[in-house]
Amino acid sequence: MYKIMLADDEGIVIESLQYIIKQNFGEECVVDYAKSGRSVIERSEIFRPEIVIMDIHMPGINGIDAMKEIKKFFPSIIFIVLSAFDKFDYAKEAINLGVLEYLHKPVSKERIVEVLRRGMQQIDMERKKRSNDLIIREKMEAVVPILENGFIYTLLLQEFVREDIANFKNLLEIPYDYGYMMVLVCGEEQIGSLMTNAVGTSVSIQNHYKEMREYIREAIQIGVVGPVMANKIVVFVPFVSMSMSYEERIQVIEQSRVLIRQLKSHIDIRFRLGIGSVYYVSEAVKSYSEALKSLLDTTGLVAHVDDLPFACSYEKDYPITIEKAIFEAIPRGDLNLATASAYAFFDWMVMTYPDCMTDIKLKALEFVLWAEHIAYENGGMTYEFRSRREYLPTVIEIEQYDALRLWFVERIENACRNVAAKKKITSIGTVEKAKLYIREHYHKELSLEEVSRQVNISPYYFSKVFKEETGINFIDYLTELRMKVAKQLLLESEKSMKEIGIMVGYSDPNYFSRSFKKNVGKTPTEYKEGGVS
């Protein structure tokens, strides 16, 4: 169904157009008409036409001005100009208004029908687009909460690789590399810093989750709203920089207070909200811990960690991002990042405090000791109580920054290198042990699960480590070994195909023959008769 408005001060023109539309489109169209500029504006507001056939010269407001006015409220209306005036200025203004066609009276019936059909096709395309947009939106409404829940769980459980965070950021349109966590806690009653009846209120907020989600989204504008977890809802809010100014913190707190009031007025549950500091997205779990701690250490409805005495603050321009990079690189065994970050941090100290050798020595010693602590925790070093007895005397005796820099970077590199080497040795030892077991048991039915049990790691992790170290997966390695032994037996023994198959782990002779042909390119018989060639 199409709604068409006819605007012309000549009754005969309107009657003719009505006849043409009725004759060619029948019940497909609903038609209304107006005989003045003001009338067409007023009737359009009520009738809401999709196509308007407009004369330029009409009593009162002319057609051009009438179109401009209608466009303000209905920008998608299709205009067709029908006029006896062939003036360039009129045509130019009509084109600027996006008129579909400028027709000059008199015009043939065929021409009017052709232009109307084009208008209807345009309407159909727009309707289809709107329908598709709604379908996509409907699907996204279902998918986005799942993605958001996955993102929050990923951050809290810390089970991700860098690509995971990048993918989530892209899919959820998270614009920044930093952000902070908000934790909304619910309960029936507040006793001190704790909320009572967590189980009961968790059921209540599940019932109100969709409504609460809308209020939270309205408050944070950009962010990710997590699922209900017991009596908590965790929210990640992207932030443009690594630190939040005093004014920005006040604004966040005030927005949070407004959110709490809105929730309380619409849902019969008590709410408190904790806010953590800004971190890299990958470190947002720290902000989550801070948000929870801020609620436990205060009794207010809204608590920001930076308002509390346990929050750590840094002097202006302190390179916190470089410091974090050093201590993120070590447990990963990322030597390049650790080295580059160590050099960058030391250069910052010398550039910022060139006359503070003692302070720089203390900081270098602090970083080295903490880097080695991380290496101990990650199995990269064996702790010996007196292994660092020379550190303090050595650092005290150093007089030049170049020598101190060298000592500092070497110790950071050693801690990182030890972690990387330990991981490598562990994986290589695991794989060598697995390969030995496979060589000793290839003649039996052997599974990935059985071998992984022998090296005492999960099948999933064993499969990953085995592939990384050997370049092939477990099944391919086992098959290659069996085929190698089978070829040797075929050439050097007089045993039957069935016997050889059993000797290399195939109880079914037909399956052995098919596997041999697939991997060697010949049947066992062809291989035996043809020799090594």
What is the per-residue pLDDT across 81-111, written as a single tens digit (0 to 9) for each?
887 766 656 666 766 777 888 888 888 999 9
Domain extent for 39 = 2-107
Instruction: Note whether residue 151 is domain-resident.
Output: yes
Banded pLDDT at 299 (limits 50, 70, 90): confident
Q: What CATH number corresponds to the domain at position 225?
A: 3.30.70.270
Q: What percent of the chain shows pLDDT beyond 90?
A: 45
**Is residue 157 located within the same domain as residue 284?**
yes
Domain stop point among 107, 130, 156: 107
67, 167: one domain = no
Q: What local confidence, expressed as pLDDT, does residue 158 receive?
A: 82
Same domain, 203 and 270: yes
Which two structure tokens, joined as six digits, stand for 331? Answer: 């447990």
Name 415's Cβ contacts closer than 8 Å, sequence gap at least 6. Answer: 330, 338, 368, 371, 372, 374, 375, 380, 381
Task: Please tell me whether residues 164 and 250 are part of one structural domain.
Answer: yes
Mean of the per-residue pLDDT values of the chain = 87
Boundary of a domain, candidates 246, 273, 307? 307
At residue 529, the pLDDT reads 83
Instruction: Enumerate long-range contacts of 371-374, CB under 8 Å, 24 or more apart.
Output: 371/326, 371/327, 371/330, 371/411, 371/412, 371/415, 371/416, 372/411, 372/415, 374/327, 374/330, 374/331, 374/415, 374/419
Query: 320: which residues sit within 8 A by CB, 6+ positions away?
Result: 242, 314
> Does residue 447 form part of some domain?
yes
pLDDT at residue number 397: 94
Owner of token pair 């169904």: 1
Residues 306-317: tens digit of each pLDDT? 888 665 678 888
pLDDT for residue 494 is more than 90:
no
Same domain flag for 103 and 150: no
Residues 286 and 208 in one domain: yes
Residues 156 and 298 in one domain: yes
For strand 78-83 and strand 101-104, is the pairing parallel, antiparallel, or unpaired?
parallel
CATH code of the domain covering residue 481: 1.10.10.60
Has residue 148 got a pLDDT over 60? yes
245 has pLDDT over 70: yes
In a domain, 332, yes or no: no
How do residues 449-475 score in pLDDT, each as one tens digit?
A: 998 898 888 888 888 888 888 899 999
CA pair distance 480, 485, nearest whole angstrom? 9
Task: Check: CB of residue 220 under 8 Å from CB of residue 235.
Answer: yes
Is residue 165 located within the same domain as residue 302?
A: yes
Q: What's the rounded mean pLDDT across residues 175-194?
A: 87
- Domain boundary residue among 307, 338, 373? 307
The Cα 20–Cα 164 span in angstroms is 61
User: What CATH number does residue 96 fall under?
Assistant: 3.40.50.2300
Q: How many domains does the chain have?
A: 3
83 compared with 448, residue with greater pLDDT: 448
Q: Please report, as a single letter, which amino acid is at residue 183.
A: V
Which of the residue ranges 133-137, 182-186, 282-286, 303-307 would you say has the lowest mean pLDDT? 133-137
Residue 516 lies in a domain: yes
Same domain, 168 and 299: yes
Q: How far apart are CA 515 and CA 501, in angstroms?
A: 10
Q: Is the peptide bond before 75 cis (omega within 30 degrees of 0)?
A: no
Q: Which residue has the tokens 């720089």?
A: 360
| Same domain, residue pair 66 and 161 | no
Amino acid at 57: H
Closest CA to 50 of 92, 26, 80: 80
Residue 138 is assigned to a structural domain of this protein: no
Q: Are strands 190-191 and 224-229 parallel, antiparallel or unpaired?
A: unpaired
In a domain, 422, yes or no: no
- Report the percent of the chain where pLDDT is more than 70: 94
In this prediction, residue 151 has a pLDDT band, given cuts at 50, 70 and 90, of very high
Going from the C-alpha of 351 to that of each of 13, 345, 463, the distances in angstroms are 85, 10, 49
Same domain, 65 and 162: no
Give the pLDDT score at 105: 82
| Location of structure tokens 């390969």 | 435
Backbone angles phi, psi at 51, to 5 degrees: -130, 135
Domain assignment of residue 358, yes or no = no
Over residues 283-287, mean pLDDT: 92
Query: Both 176 and 87 in a single domain?
Result: no
In a domain, 49, yes or no: yes
